[in-house]
């Protein structure tokens, strides 16, 4: 998170600066994580890349949480046919593997960009969030404060967003952090496959994709460090979500 905000300041070199004297050089005092095949500083690129991946994952998760929460609230509260039909559709969507949807979407649109990545991951996460929120809402809507709200002529929207939503918020926040962890992976995977961001951008997945074939020539550092970064962010987000789970006693 720290490196995502202050990326440019703690990076030692510009992420696109190429030092032709140090192509594929091993980690050293000058280039801590070594340089890649274009002589770019891996350390700087990892630091700068953090901002891209975290911002994209965050926005994608936010989109998924917003859509999922809205649908989940409506389904859990209104029940009946609406709930049935909506949940079957969402289940169908979540039955298709993430990567296939993403690749299909990119192929259909014909190009890849960060906006498209956010939209794809956001939509893919919607069913999961919706299901979790719906389950929580089902329990809440049986509670008598909902009947009490009806007995003072409240409209359905008010009951959903002002009465029920605050009570399922802890569930939603925890779900959000869990999804954020997955989003990091999803963004990195998509970039690695070339379906995410533009080629050459200093994002971690792209870095790994650009450099992994060099591992066999013993140039392991441009691949290892972005991979470690992906893993460490995913792990730390999961740790945060565990802590939140404990705080909310879910």
d(CA 17, CA 29): 17
Q: Judged by CB under 8 A, which of 147, 231, 247, 250 binds other proteins?
A: 147
Helix-helix angle 80-95:42-78, to 10 degrees: 150
160: CB partners within 8 A, 6+ apart: 73, 74, 77
Q: Given the complex with other proteins, which of 111 and 152 has the nearer CB atom?
A: 152
Asked if residue 39 lies in contact with residue 22, where contact means CB atoms within 8 angstroms, the answer is: yes
- DSSP for residue 16: T
Tell the smallest beta-carbon distance from residue 162 to other proteins (Å): 9
Q: Is 78 in the site for other proteins (CB under 8 A)?
A: no
- DSSP for residue 163: I
Tell the smallest beta-carbon distance from residue 169 to other proteins (Å): 8
Tell the smallest beta-carbon distance from residue 143 to other proteins (Å): 4
Tell the smallest beta-carbon distance from residue 150 to other proteins (Å): 6
Which 163-222 positions form the footprint of other proteins (CB under 8 A)? Answer: 163, 166-167
- Helix H or strand E encompassing 42: helix 42-78
Return the range that interacts with other proteins (CB under 8 A); candidates 42-50, 61-69, 147-155, 190-198.
147-155
Q: Is 250 in the site for other proteins (CB under 8 A)?
A: no
Residue 176: Cβ-neighbour burial (10 angstroms; 0-12, 13-18, 19+): buried
Q: Given the complex with other proteins, which of 146 and 188 has the nearer CB atom?
A: 146
How many residues form the binding site for other proteins (CB under 8 A)? 14
d(CA 24, CA 37): 5
Q: Given the complex with other proteins, which of 67 and 165 has the nearer CB atom?
A: 165
Tell me the CA distances in angstroms from 145 to 103, 148, 171, 249, one per residue in order. Answer: 46, 5, 19, 22
Q: Judged by CB under 8 A, which of 143, 199, 228, 243 binds other proteins?
A: 143
Q: Judged by CB under 8 A, which of 144, 216, 217, 218 binds other proteins?
A: 144
Binding site for other proteins (CB under 8 A): 143-145, 147-154, 163, 166-167
């Amino acid at each position: 998170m720290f490196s995502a905000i202050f990326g440019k300041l703690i990076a030692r070199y510009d992420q696109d600066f190429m030092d032709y004297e140090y192509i594929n050089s091993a980690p050293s005092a000058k280039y801590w994580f070594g340089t890649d095949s274009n002589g770019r500083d891996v350390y700087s690129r990892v630091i700068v890349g953090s901002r891209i991946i975290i911002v994209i994952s965050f926005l994608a998760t936010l989109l998924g949480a917003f859509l999922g929460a809205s649908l989940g609230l409506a389904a859990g509260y209104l029940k009946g046919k609406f709930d049935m039909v909506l949940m079957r559709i969402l289940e169908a969507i979540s039955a298709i593997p993430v990567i296939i949807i993403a690749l299909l979407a990119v192929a259909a649109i014909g190009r890849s960009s960060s906006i498209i990545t956010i939209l794809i991951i956001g939509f893919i996460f919607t069913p999961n969030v919706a299901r979790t929120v719906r389950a929580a809402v089902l329990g809440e809507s049986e509670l008598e404060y909902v009947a009490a709200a009806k007995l003072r002529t409240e409209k359905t929207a008010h009951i959903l967003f002002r009465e029920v939503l605050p009570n399922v918020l802890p569930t939603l926040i925890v779900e959000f952090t869990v999804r954020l962890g997955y989003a990091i992976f999803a963004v990195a995977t998509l970039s690695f496959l070339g379906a995410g961001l533009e080629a050459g951008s200093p994002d971690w997945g792209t870095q790994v994709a650009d450099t992994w074939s060099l591992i066999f020539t013993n140039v392991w550092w441009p691949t290892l460090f972005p991979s470690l970064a992906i893993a460490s962010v995913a792990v730390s987000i999961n740790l945060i979500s565990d802590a939140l789970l404990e705080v909310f006693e879910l």
